[in-house]
Amino acid sequence: MKEWLSRNERVVFFAAALAALLAVVLFYHVRVVAVSPEAVVRSGVGAELLAGAAKGRQGLIGSLKWPPLPTLLVLPFAKIPRFGTSGLAFPVVNAVLSAFTLTLLNGWLSGFRVPRGVRLPLLCLYQISPPVMAAMLTGGSATLMLLILMAGAYFLVHWLETLDVRSLAYLGVLGGLAVVTRYQTILLVALVGLIIVARVRRRRERAFRGGTVLVFLIPSVYTLALWFVGNWLIMGDPVFFLRGLASRSVLLAEIVELDFEWQLYVMPCLFLLGVHTLRKAKAARGVGRRTGALVVAVVVLLGVVAWQYVAELYLTERKESYFGRHYRQISQVDEIVAYLARYRPEAKVFVSGYTGYQFVARSSSKESFVHLMSLDAREIQRRTRGQQLFFLVPRPGASFGGRTSPSRPHGCSTNT
Amino acid sequence: MTEGKASSQQPSAREYKKIFFELLGRSPHLCAYRVLTRPQKLVILLALLVLIACLVLWPVVALIAVNGVLIVYYLVLCSWKLWLIDESLVSRREIEVTPEEVAALRDEDCPVYTLLVPLYHETETLARLVSSLGGLDYPKDKLDVIFLLEEDDHETRAAFAKLKLPGYIRGVVVPDMPPKTKPKACNLGLHLARGKYLVIYDAEDRPEPDQLKKAVIAFTRVAPSVVCIQAKLNFYNPRQNLLTRLFTVEYSMWFDLFLPGLDYLQQPIPLGGTSNHFVTEKLRELHGWDAFNVTEDCDLGVRLADRRYQTRILDSTTWEEACSDLGYWIRQRSRWIKGYVQTYLVHCRRPLRMLQGLGFWKTFGFHMIIGGTPICLLINPVYWVLALFWVVFRSERVALFFPFPIILFAALCLFVGNFVFVYGGVLAAYRRGYFDLVKTALLMPFYWVLMSVGAWKGFLQIITKPNYWEKTRHGLDLLRGARSRGDAAAAASAAPAEADET
């Protein structure tokens, strides 16, 4: 592979990008701690995994909604008091991942001789575009997915040009990682597989074609198989991740309701298109053609980021914006936590499910909220003999904080 | 003593000993004559006593601690090998010599080249060997081929005597005295060598015809500190049976991924048994090979690095015969692992001196490659059994020794580390152009079991027969007539196309 930027240049760029992004994270969260539910849940699961709690083992295997890789990334921070379980670790991890993405894009664009004066503003525009910046600041796995997709696009382009083994291997490994970050990427892996088949279709002997496809597919198949095996080893059920602790109907609802986040997939594709046009511009003969291609490339690359601003600032309601979509849920959790702190300061509150992690994260009194993955009445009785109990459980058939007012706990009982 | 030619004046027994065991005489601390020195024995004994005491007093804590250390070592080793693979895939790290450069090399610019060919019970391969050497693209008057024949190997000597040999090949009889090892014979060859450069080939080797010229060009191109150039090794019978397929994947991984990676990171390179091209004068300066070490090549690679000399990898392949018989294969593997343990123990005798000689970075690499290879193979079965036991019985007793952080690292080693090695095999097969062996590479975990069997055999032999040379039988492919058409094609072309050249 051609070394487009020297190692030192890449390290310096990475360090500078990381410092800037961490400063942004700090600036944002000093003012308002608004992390996504995903970040809170993953951090909570990670903390329990590190504490050796059996329920934390689910963090290793994840679920269909939240595949395991992002949780594993946040594990090193999960034990840091307040920081680890509040979900704040995720924006920090995301800052690192974003710095990697920017470094990759910088190298990529510089390989196409995009001048620094164009390259750096373009990268800034990309990073501060609402979906990218919001994903980084509010935590969650979207930033990881973006890195995987961008890197995947990079290696795909390189492999299509050179057929070198390393790009193919990285493409395969990234496919495997993508599958355990978003299960929908199985389709993407299949699509890239088809592109690979198309590329090698007319080349060399049959063994070469078969070998090439295998080299690409092995990591994805392995990670997928590992997911099943992990579920079997840890939870005793190879398809546990498909339903988790929920019933089958909830599972179906989850699959249907899963946010496809199409902008995640569109962005690398458009970047690919932009870069491809840049290449054409470089190779084009004649000033007119070259200028034309360059203009198209710049328009596409600017369009990738520009339309996001239009959508965020003019076309979206505040609560549906990339930054604001978690506010409703967070404010409702905060409301309940404040209610209990004010009127029942002595109460020990048992919270369950993934939603329960949010109460633990948002409460200032860590003793008052006890999280259990499933409500075990005997365990609760044992711990709270003679005390008044509150159960906070998600209302069936309604997403938390959705159509019903959650300003009161959904169920109360007294354990005497 | 020469064979097939008029006998020159024979050295006395004392002179022979001086030739064979020069390293022992000059640098006894670097010789595997004794595998363990007295201080080493004391340290090992003391460590064992401390371990036993801890196991008696605090059994669980002691086992957790040992487990933790081993798991962390595994993790570091996996990361290290992953780095090597990645570096070797970035671009071609080997010295590449183009056909145009080879064609431009004039005969008068070719120096005398000595080829040492140690032979022991090699009657089947002898004729093929002579024909293979005859095919080398090198001025014949500049070749100095020495067949090293063992005194007690009457069959090979008889077969050799019957051959009609060209003038550049001579036979030398190695007197029968212990230890009966290849390096001992090679030391005699080194003593008699006339060439500026020297290379070793095994009886069954088929070097690429232009390899010698490539090596000559490479030597002129590299820094003066490079005194050894290792050509790549691979097999001409990869598809003979499942064992040879897996062996080929392993060899491709070693010579095409790990060694170029070590080359790039300027680490000590454990030389392959054959096709290492030396500057003869420098090899003499190093007192030749250690006659008591059963992987003298690996040891020499470390000694070269210790003397601040460099070894580079040449992009030229010597085709060997993959051992197709499980029994012989295990014997061969046991010798390799025994030799690695020998080499490791020999160079760890003076850890500070080693640190001075190699520097921190190379010492780290030494512990990873020379130490890590046998350690992993020896310990793997323990972890396989533990993992199997846990999966089948879900035993809490096993879980007891894997408290949280350790289980995470162990899981990482099990699921990521093993994948790295299997996928490394896949990439190596693909890169070598053995596209059909990509599937076979997925079976590597079964091959690791065999490797561990061989490793344990070799390790136990360290105690019982430390200098015993487990002979690899060559010519099995000829005996069984099992060469497939595909293999013949591979051997004939002797240069499989690379994937990225399509």
Which contacts (CB < 8 Å, 24+ apart) does range A396-402 have?
A399/A257, A400/A329, A400/A332, A400/A355, A401/A328, A401/A329, A401/A332, A401/A333
Using an 8 Å CB-CB cutoff, list chain A residues near B415. 226
Confidence check: pLDDT of A411 > 50 = no
User: Where a domain ends, among A224, A245, A266?
Assistant: A245
Range of the domain at A374: 327-414
CB contact under 8 A, A226 and B415: yes
Interface membership of A214 toward B (CB under 8 Å)? yes
Note which residues in 140-199 of chain A have CB less than 8 A from chain B. Answer: 162-166, 169, 173
Q: Is A274 within a domain?
A: no
Nearest chain B residue (CA) to A163? B500
pLDDT single digits (tens) B213-263: 999 999 999 999 999 999 999 998 899 899 999 999 999 999 999 999 999
B484 band by pLDDT with thresholds 50, 70 and 90: very low
Give the pLDDT of residue A183: 82
Whether residue A236 contacts residue A61, with contact meaning beta carbons closer than 8 Å, is answered with: no
pLDDT single digits (tens) B35-68: 888 999 999 999 999 999 999 999 999 999 999 9
Q: Is A103 within a domain?
A: no
CB contact under 8 A, A165 and B431: yes
CB contacts < 8 A (A, B): 64
User: Where a domain ends, among A245, A279, A311?
Assistant: A245
Confidence check: pLDDT of B8 > 60 = no
Whether residue A365 contacts residue A341, with contact meaning beta carbons closer than 8 Å, is answered with: yes
- Chain A nearest-CA distance from B308, in A, is 27
Give the pLDDT of residue B483: 47
Whether residue B32 contacts residue B300, with contact meaning beta carbons closer than 8 Å, is answered with: no
- Chain A nearest-CA distance from B429, in A, is 9
- Chain A nearest-CA distance from B494, in A, is 18
Confidence check: pLDDT of A408 > 50 = no
Give the pLDDT of residue B496: 40
User: Which residue of B82, B83, B89, B239 to mutate against A (max A Cβ within 10 Å)?
Assistant: B89
User: Where a domain ends, among A183, A218, A245?
Assistant: A245
CB contact under 8 A, A165 and B427: yes
Q: Helix A185-200 and helix A165-179: axis angle, to 10°?
A: 160
Interface membership of B90 toward A (CB under 8 Å)? yes
Q: Is A107 within a domain?
A: no
Nearest chain B residue (CA) to A173? B423
pLDDT single digits (tens) A129-173: 888 888 898 888 889 999 999 899 889 988 988 889 999 999 999
| Predicted model pTM | 0.83
Q: Is A180 within a domain?
A: yes
Give the pLDDT of residue B245: 95
Give the pLDDT of residue A161: 85
Average pLDDT over residues A261-288: 72
Average pLDDT over residues A189-193: 94
Could you tell me whether strands A348-352 and A388-392 are parallel, antiparallel, or unpaired per DSSP bridges? parallel
Give the pLDDT of residue A154: 87
Whether residue B467 contacts residue B291, with contact meaning beta carbons closer than 8 Å, is answered with: no
Cβ-based neighbours of A46, under 8 Å, separated by 6 or more: A56, A59, A71, A74, A75, A77, A78, A84
Using a pLDDT cut of 70, give the percent of chain B over it.
91
pLDDT single digits (tens) B326-384: 999 999 999 999 999 999 999 999 999 899 989 999 999 999 999 999 999 999 999 99
Using an 8 Å CB-CB cutoff, list chain A residues near B411. 60
DSSP state of B21: T
CB contact under 8 A, B408 and A222: no
Dihedral sign for Cα atoms in the order A177, A178, A183, A186? negative
Alpha carbon B174 to chain centroid distance?
Answer: 23
Note which residues in 394-433 of chain B have CB less than 8 A from chain A. Answer: 403-404, 408, 411, 415, 419, 423, 426-427, 429-431
- How far apart CA A156 and CA A193 sit, in angstroms, is 11
Dihedral sign for Cα atoms in the order B205, B208, B212, B216? negative
Helix (H) or strand (E) holding B95: none
Interface membership of B502 toward A (CB under 8 Å)? yes
A409 band by pLDDT with thresholds 50, 70 and 90: very low
Q: Is A187 within a domain?
A: yes
In chain A, the number of structural domains is: 2
Structure ipTM = 0.84
Residue showing tokens 């020159």: B8
Q: Is A384 within a domain?
A: yes
Interface membership of A204 toward B (CB under 8 Å)? yes
Confidence check: pLDDT of B502 > 60 = no
pLDDT single digits (tens) B129-180: 888 898 999 999 999 999 999 988 888 899 888 888 888 999 989 888 888 8
Q: Is A50 within a domain?
A: no
Measuring CA to CA, how many Å separate A316 from each of A36, A37, A64, A312?
19, 21, 28, 6
Interface membership of A225 toward B (CB under 8 Å)? no
Q: Which of B404, B415, B435 sits opposite A211 (nearest CB)?
A: B435
Interface membership of B489 toward A (CB under 8 Å)? no
Q: Is A80 within a domain?
A: no
